[in-house]
Amino acid sequence: MSSTVALSGCFENWMLASSSAIFRRQLFLLKTLGGHCCRVHMERIHGAEGARAATLEADAEGIIRKITPVMDPRLYKGQAGKVAVIGGCREYTGAPYFAAISALKIGADLSHVFCTKDAATVIKSYSPELIVHPVLEESYGVRDDEKASVFGKVVGDVTKWMQRFDCLVVGPGLGRDTFLLDCVSGIIRHAREANIPIVIDGDGLFLVTNNLDLVKGYSLAVLTPNINEYKRLVEKVLDCEVNEEEASEQLKLLARRIGDVTIFRKGKLDLISDGERVNKVSISGSPRRCGGQGDILSGSVAVFSSWARQRLSSTKEATERSLSNPMVLGCIAASALLRKSAALAFASKKRATLTTDIIECLGRSLEDICPAE
Ligand SMILES: NC(=O)C1=CN([C@@H]2O[C@H](COP(=O)(O)OP(=O)(O)OC[C@H]3O[C@@H](n4cnc5c(N)ncnc54)[C@H](O)[C@@H]3O)[C@@H](O)[C@H]2O)[C@@H](O)CC1
Ligand SMILES: Nc1ncnc2c1ncn2[C@@H]1O[C@H](COP(=O)(O)OP(=O)(O)OP(=O)(O)O)[C@@H](O)[C@H]1O
Ligand SMILES: [Mg+2]
């Protein structure tokens, strides 16, 4: 049985290999080892659609209109969304700020940041709107004999808030300190137990790529890799190179292999898959590639996916599976809004466009698609 699984897995990777020489050699091996079980497995993986499924351009603006809550005076604070960003260390204070403030600018009611002490005062000084918790610890501040108790305290300081959040964003500006990442693993495990959706970005992806069990089988997890992060994931999970010619198939396979997660592959085109279908968002964005745009995106995915969950739980619309997955809907909405805002910022700021300019355009872009009144 185990040899069947291993063989089938390899075959999917082979289908993605671009070198025909490699493919011929592997096909020979395949015939030698028994192709039947591989073919059956391929059919199970790809279903009736065949090996190459179409990549659909999502109706992103329609989705935004559908999931964005109406401005209702009967709502009270918190009902439009409460998110928390786990990130911010000695090196990085911009990334968690961008993610957290973007969530508020889109329409969430409360946005928290859990970061190290060094980062907290800096992040607070960027904005009085954010609720900043200086609770994370890096190795340099903790003696070896203190680690177990500090671990318990850090995880406890975050998890006591957990039930209040609609979504966590783990990773923007988190850094790669080993003790800090151990604590964040504890936080992710707790969030899973509490069924809280988690968007994994930046250094959170570094953690998860090396500890896939943290998200395996968790359908409320979204991974938002950039070009480097995606490469590392593909190499680790599929044991092959990124294949641009079979980009959609490879993404779908990656989501399935990790198990039930949604992956948002960022780039010139944004590709989003939960292992069932692949959606594409390609509306024009900005040619400026200043750092921080991915952070806006992760905060936006948190808000839109929370809204999509709320919307789907309050209606009984029978839609196809991938369009009834709130995490996929959240990704599509966030992608479109970020790209539209980046285009708008670039139209006025040109080469001087910075991430803060794009954040300033989030409100107007959303208003253009989905007016508040
Ligand atoms: N203003 C800010 O505070 C910003 C902070 N950012 C944060 O910066 C961090 C890194 O994100 P990037 O998008 O640059 O990550 P990438 O993985 O795209 O690139 C980082 C580069 O540095 C290398 N690298 C980083 N840490 C390393 C390590 N410990 N050992 C060896 N090589 C290492 C990587 O291999 C890569 O070449 C994330 O936490 C991210 O959220 C970015 O979001 C950009 C804005
Ligand atoms: N070449 C491009 N053309 C247009 N838009 C792009 C391009 N590359 C990325 N984007 C947009 O920018 C968003 C952020 O992607 P990017 O690759 O910059 O993330 P990142 O490296 O994680 O960013 P950060 O600097 O915040 O860590 C993507 O979702 C996409 O919509
Ligand atoms: Mg990033």
pLDDT per residue over 107-149, tens digit each?
999 999 999 999 999 999 999 999 999 999 999 989 999 999 9
pLDDT in tens, 288-335: 999 999 999 999 999 999 999 999 988 766 555 556 899 999 999 999
Given the structure tokens 């992710």, which residue do they identify?
Answer: 188
Residue 134 pairs in a beta bridge with 115
Q: What is the SS3 assignment for 83? A: strand
- Distance CA(22)–CA(202), nearest Å, equals 33
- Distance CA(263)–CA(254), nearest Å, equals 8
Annotated binding site for ATP: 266-270, 285-294
Side by side, the strands of the sheet bearing 167-170 are 55-57, 278-281, 270-273, 262-265, 221-223, 198-200, 167-170, 82-86, 110-116, 131-136
- Distance CA(248)–CA(71), nearest Å, equals 37
- Distance CA(366)–CA(336), nearest Å, equals 10
Q: Which residues line ligand 1 (CB under 6 A)?
A: 92-95, 172-174, 176, 202-203, 226, 228-229, 291-292, 294-295
The HSE-up count of residue 93 (CA atoms within 13 Å, CB side) is 16
Q: How many of the other CB atoms lie within 10 Å of CB of 224? A: 30
The answer to whether the beta carbons of residues 199 and 222 sit under 8 Å apart is yes
**Ligand 1 center–CA 206 separation, angstroms:** 10
pTM, full prediction: 0.87
The answer to whether the beta carbons of residues 305 and 197 sit under 8 Å apart is yes
ipTM: 0.90
DSSP-derived pairing of the beta strands 221-223 and 55-57: unpaired
**Ligand 3 center–CA 254 separation, angstroms:** 19
pLDDT in tens, 34-58: 333 333 233 333 333 333 446 889 8
